[in-house]
Structures are given as C-alpha cells and as structure tokens.
Amino acid sequence: MRFFVHFDIDAFYAQVEQLRNPELRGKPVAVGGNSLTRSVVAAASYEAREYGIKAGMPVFQAKKLCPHCIFISPDFRLYETYSLKFYKLLYRYSPDVEVLSQDEAFVELTHCRLLYPDFVEAARRIRREVSRELGLRVSAGAGSSKIVAKLATSRAKPDGFLHIPPDRELEFLESFALEDIPGIGRRTAAALKRLGITSIPDLRQISPHKIRRFLGKRGEDLYLMMLGKDFSRIEPPQKPKSISRGYTLEKNIHTLKEAIPHIIYLCDSVATELRKEGGKATRACLRIRWEDFSEVSRCVSVFPPFSDFFTLYHQVRKMAEGLISGYGIRLLSVEVSGIYYEPTPTLFKFREEELMTALDRIRERYGFPAISFASEARKKNEGVFVFKSTRRVLSR
C-alpha cells in the first residue's frame, strides 16, 4: 500500500511576516501590493480570514471588511528563502518529494519502510519537526493516494494533521462537493452537471467510457480517483517551459515613452530568471491589459535561441510599438517560452554576454535590486508586483 503525505504551510506569506515582526502575531494581517485601488491580497492570516478577507480579493474591499487589518507589501525574496528551506527539510525525510507551490508539497514514504515502520507516526513527527525548524505552522494530510492526502490537509487546517485509513477513503471522498476536488474547476463541474453528475456518488455511477468521451483522459482519471484508484506518482522537479513577469501599474499609462521603463524592468527580470535556469528561449510574448480590462497579446518566434536582455527587449519593444496608441494601459506582462536546456548554437555578441554575466554575479551576491538599467530604476517600484511564473522553485 502506498503512503503519501501532503504538507501545506498555513497562510504562508502572512505567517512569515508575523514571524519577522512578533508584534503582528494574533492580529489580522494581509500581504498585498502598495496600492489601495489596484492591489489584491496575496495572503491573509487566519485572524484576517475571520473577517472574510481572502487571497485574490482587492485591497480596498478587504479594508472595508476589516478596517483595522494590517496591510504589508510583499517581500518575495524573503518568502522564497523560507520556501527553499521548506523543501530542503522535506528532502531530509524522503527522496520522493513533489513541489506544488512555494508553500505546498507531497512526500511519499512508500519506499522508506526501513526508516519508518509506522508511516502515520512518521508523518506526524515530520510535520512537527518541519514546523519547529521553520518556525511556521504547517498542516498535513496522509493517505494511500495524493488526492486523499491533499483533501485530508484541507480538513486538518490550521496547524493540524489528519490521516485517512484506506478503508475510510471512499467515505471520506463522498464528504466533499465536486468543486472541492482538485482538478474539478467551475468549467469541469459545469460539464459534469450537463451529464447529470452533481456529486461524488453520481460520478461513480457513470460509465467510464461516457465520461472519457465528454472530458477526455482527465475525466477518466477523475472517475478512477473517486473510486479510490489514484495511480498518479510523485513528479520530480522539472525545468520551466515558460517564464513570465507582469504587474498592475499604479496609474494608467498611455504612451510608449511611459511604457519603456516598465518593459525594460520586465525584460530584465525575465531574462535574468531565464539565465538562472540555464535555458534559452525561442519565443517572446507581450501582454497588455487595457483600462477597460480587455487584453491583447502578441508573440514572436526568435532564432537563434536567446537568454540575454537585449534580444528580448528588442523583440518586446517592437511589439509594443505596434500595440500602444494612446489608450490607457493597466497591466504589462512579458513572457518567454519554447525554452531549450541543451546547448544550442548562438550568435551572441561577446560584450553583451559578458555584461549579462557580470550583472548576474552582482545580483547573486547583493540581490536583484542591487543594479538596474537607468531607465528602469525610476519606475520599477511604482507597480503592484504580483509576479506570475511557471518556474518551479526547486528547478534552480
């Protein structure tokens, strides 16, 4: 019988801020951007959640729900430090670790029977030790499959542990609504409803061939999971297929001249991350959200594959010139994809390559903000930085 443990740090960003500043403990705390009108809540402490504040909520709305809530600008470098420590601690107990996000991971103990004769007690001990060494509350759930372990964690929060024995897993799964099952979003739930499926028991009764015809292999996988037959395995860390950076602007901008400093900063950040991953991209994209919340995206293929700032900036600027025409811009985002990790032929100019290497070394020692292009230095702190990247932390 396989044995999985799902670990999740409770209210990760908010907890780190409360750990850094003990005076915040026991108080409603929300981590968000620096704009009342544009920012969204990235994380909320459990004290703040009691007032209805949750991640993704606009800051102005959160302030209405809890006027005395303490709002803190995010410190992503600090959170990543704790995240890396979290994963390293998990690898101490098992080689089978799957990273889900900065604060969430699966650990499989199946192959560690000689180390842990009692898996349930081992899972409890690992949670306690990880929590103690991080100084953060960690919840965990355990079961014979990844989906059961993850759902068990949701019932163990906050700061708890729940193990679901194999003979109770089907009953446990039935206690959840369809929308609560990982992998069943609103669209999938709506598709299932059209098939007459509104609950877990309904899903178990349908023909697997029928659900596969409507939802493909994913539908069949869901069907098997609800029968307690989750055959998914631990997925090792993978290199990212794309890297993106984007943020909402403090104020709408209307001209290319206003956009250039932001574009420089985003291209610089993406290219730096791309080099850190050891990859070269073949596709560059620019995404713009206008003041009416409509969006437009443009992409271009690039050869030879690149990892330097100058190539990315040149391509993104050309796309921006064709899109920006005086209409208000609310958000800018830059992405690279089609990333290669094998040696590829390059036509880089040696001086540009040397400059990028020097920049990387300075930032590795003193942090990303230590050195900037002159055009970005004045503008880069004006955005509401909600970075989005497909990068997995452990792939560094």
Q: Which two tokens stand for residue 368?
A: 């990303």
pLDDT band at 271 (very low <50, low <70, confident <90, very high): very high
With CA atoms as reference, report the closest residue to 10 among 141, 122, 147, 108: 141
Residue 227: the pLDDT is: 80
Per-residue pLDDT at 388 exceeds 60: no
Per-residue pLDDT at 386 exceeds 70: no
Per-residue pLDDT at 157 exceeds 90: yes
> What are 31-67's pLDDT values in tens digits?
986 565 677 898 999 999 999 999 889 888 999 999 9
Phi, psi dihedrals of residue 330, rounded to the nearest 5°: -100, -35
> How far is the C-alpha of 290 from the C-alpha of 188, rounded, in Å?
29
Per-residue pLDDT at 311 exceeds 90: yes
Q: Judge residue 171's burial from the number of C-beta atoms within 10 Å of its C-beta, 0-12 exposed, 13-18 middle, 19 or more buried.
A: exposed
Assign a CATH topology to domain 242-395.
Dna Ligase; domain 1 (3.30.1490)
Q: What dotted CATH number matches 1-163?
A: 3.30.70.270
| Percent of the chain residues past pLDDT 70, beyond the cut | 88
- pTM reported for the whole predicted model: 0.73
> How far is the C-alpha of 327 from the C-alpha of 307, rounded, in Å?
31
> How far is the C-alpha of 311 from the C-alpha of 320, rounded, in Å?
14
Higher-confidence residue of 68 and 355: namely 68
> What are 230-261's pLDDT values in tens digits?
788 888 777 889 999 998 888 899 999 999 99
Per-residue pLDDT at 163 exceeds 60: yes
Higher-confidence residue of 368 and 271: namely 271
Per-residue pLDDT at 115 exceeds 60: yes
Per-residue pLDDT at 384 exceeds 50: no
Residue 394: the pLDDT is: 34
Per-residue pLDDT at 391 exceeds 50: no
pLDDT band at 280 (very low <50, low <70, confident <90, very high): very high
Give the contacts of 371 (CB within 8 A, at least 6 positions apart). 359, 362, 363
> What are 13-32's pLDDT values in tens digits?
999 999 999 999 999 999 98
Residue 250: the pLDDT is: 82
User: Lowest-pLDDT range, 100-104, 146-150, 229-233, 294-298?
Assistant: 229-233
Residue 283: the pLDDT is: 96
Output b/e per residue, 233-271; b: 16+ Cβ within 10 A.
ebeeeeebebbbbbbbbbeebeeeeebbbbbbbbbbbbb
Class (C level, CATH) for 176-226: mainly alpha
The ranges assigned to domains in the chain are: 1-163, 176-226, 242-395
Domains 1-163 and 176-226 share a fold: no
> How far is the C-alpha of 292 from the C-alpha of 305, rounded, in Å?
35
Q: How far is CA 189 from CA 145, 170, 211, 327, 375, in A?
A: 22, 20, 12, 38, 47
Residue 249: the pLDDT is: 87
Q: Judge residue 286's burial from the number of C-beta atoms within 10 Å of its C-beta, 0-12 exposed, 13-18 middle, 19 or more buried.
A: buried
Residue 96: the pLDDT is: 94
> How far is the C-alpha of 19 from the C-alpha of 22, rounded, in Å?
6
Per-residue pLDDT at 318 exceeds 90: yes
Catalytic, 23? Answer no
Which H, E and C letters describe the chain, residue by residue? Answer: CCCEEEEEECCHHHHHHHHHCHHHCCCCEEEECCCCCCCEEEEECHHHHCCCCCCCCEHHHHHHHCCCCEEECCCHHHHHHHHHHHHHHHHHHCCCEEEEECCEEEEECHHHCCCCCCHHHHHHHHHHHHHHHHCCCEEEEEECCHHHHHHHHHHHCCCCEEECCHHHHHHHHHCCCHHHCCCCCHHHHHHHHHCCCCCHHHHHHCCHHHHHHHHHHHHHHHHHHHCCCCCCCCCCCCCCCEEEEEEEEEEEECCHHHHHHHHHHHHHHHHHHHHHHCCEEEEEEEEEEECCCCEEEEEEEEEEEECCHHHHHHHHHHHHHHHCCCCCEEEEEEEEECCECCCCCCCCCHHHHHHHHHHHHHHHHHCHHHCCCHHHHCCCCCCEECCCCCCCHHHC
Among candidate residues 17, 47, 98, 104, the one labeled active-site is 104
Average pLDDT, the chain: 85
pLDDT band at 347 (very low <50, low <70, confident <90, very high): very low
Residue 32: the pLDDT is: 84
pLDDT band at 358 (very low <50, low <70, confident <90, very high): confident
